[in-house]
């Protein structure tokens, strides 16, 4: 029991130390990378604005603007959402090297803009691997779907009442509960094992397959530290959310609340993950 408690204490200590290192590194060098996160935030803001405009699009007909503008807004929203998603991935990878240099104590910090072109291929790799991980998470639902193909076919061809259909399909619907639980468990495990995938890809310079293997090996060897890291950030996330809600009650602090997440929390979280990776890999600080 003492050994277990000691292991928990050590894991929490490592996780807390990584957050402190990430915060310290970003606080001292935030000007070097803040515009990268500002670009991601700007795209997200524009996407949100278009989404709000789409929700009010039925009102356009009242002002004789016509359905053409509404359709154009839908297409623009889709295009901006895809572009925002791609830009977010690309910039997140591009800024990883400067964050690593900040955390490792290097005096000369790379310019993130000069790294964007070199991260295009890595962005494709990340999207492919994360898509494959998503397919793995969907396996329980796929199994449930295949198991009920016959039931779906019978329901489509039958003239049963709604009550009879519900009685026939009710058992299958109840099975969705353990299926959803299995999907959540799979999502947790997969994300845990791939926690360091992007870091291994960009910082260690590995290929996609090697980065996946390295991330899985590091996470399996340090499960306690990775779980503790997620726990610390979950607690911090709840605390930040509560503070944000309280701050929103005062209109003066509302602009601050809006920018704190994308311009402070996100870079610190990314920096702290790199700090944890360095600690677990025993990467020495640079000068």
- Of the ranges 55-64, 66-75, 146-155, 214-223, the best mean pLDDT one: 214-223
pLDDT tens per residue, range 114-141: 999 999 999 999 999 999 999 999 999 9
pLDDT above 70: percentage of residues in the chain: 84
Model confidence at 3, pLDDT cuts 50, 70, 90, reads: very low
Across the range 147-175, mean pLDDT stands at 65
Q: Which residues of 112-130 are buried (b: 16+ CB within 10 A; e: fewer)?
A: beebbeebeebbebbeebb
pLDDT digits (tens, 9 = 90+) for 246-277: 888 877 888 888 899 999 999 999 999 999 99
pLDDT of residue 166: 60
> pTM of the predicted model, to two decimals?
0.86
- Angle of the 208-221 helix axis to the 176-193 helix axis, nearest 10: 100
Reference 85, options 56, 48, 44, 145; nearest CA is 44
Confidence of residue 231 (pLDDT cuts 50, 70, 90): very high
Instruction: Find the mean pLDDT for residues 37-57.
Output: 87
In 3D space, the residue among 230, 200, 227, 225 whose CA is nearest the CA of residue 212 turns out to be 200
């Amino acid at each position: 029991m003492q050994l277990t408690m000691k292991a928990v204490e050590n894991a929490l200590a490592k996780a807390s130390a990584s957050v402190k290192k990430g915060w310290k590194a970003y606080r001292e060098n935030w000007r070097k990378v803040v515009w990268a996160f500002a670009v991601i935030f700007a795209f997200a803001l524009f996407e949100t604005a278009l989404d709000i405009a789409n929700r009010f699009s039925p009102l356009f007909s009242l002002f004789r603007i016509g359905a053409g503008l509404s359709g154009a807004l839908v297409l623009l929203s889709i295009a901006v959402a895809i572009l925002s998603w791609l830009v977010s991935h690309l910039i997140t990878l591009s800024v990883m090297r400067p964050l690593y240099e900040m955390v490792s104590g290097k005096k000369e910090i790379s310019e993130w803009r000069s790294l964007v072109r070199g991260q295009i291929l890595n962005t494709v790799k990340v999207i492919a691997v994360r898509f494959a991980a998503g397919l793995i998470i969907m396996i329980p639902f796929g199994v449930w779907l295949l198991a009920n193909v016959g039931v779906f076919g019978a329901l489509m061809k039958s003239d049963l009442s709604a009550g009879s259909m519900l009685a026939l399909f009710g058992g299958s619907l109840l099975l969705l509960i353990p299926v959803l639980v299995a999907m959540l468990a799979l999502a947790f495990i997969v994300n845990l094992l791939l926690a360091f995938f992007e870091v291994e890809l960009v910082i260690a310079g590995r290929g996609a397959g090697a980065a996946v293997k390295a991330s899985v090996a590091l996470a399996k060897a340090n499960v306690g530290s990775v779980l503790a890291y997620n726990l610390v950030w979950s607690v911090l996330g709840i605390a930040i959310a509560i503070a944000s809600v309280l701050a929103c009650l005062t209109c003066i602090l509302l602009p601050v609340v809006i920018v704190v997440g994308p311009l402070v929390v996100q870079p610190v979280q990314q920096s702290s993950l790199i700090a944890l990776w360095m600690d677990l890999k025993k990467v020495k600080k640079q000068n």
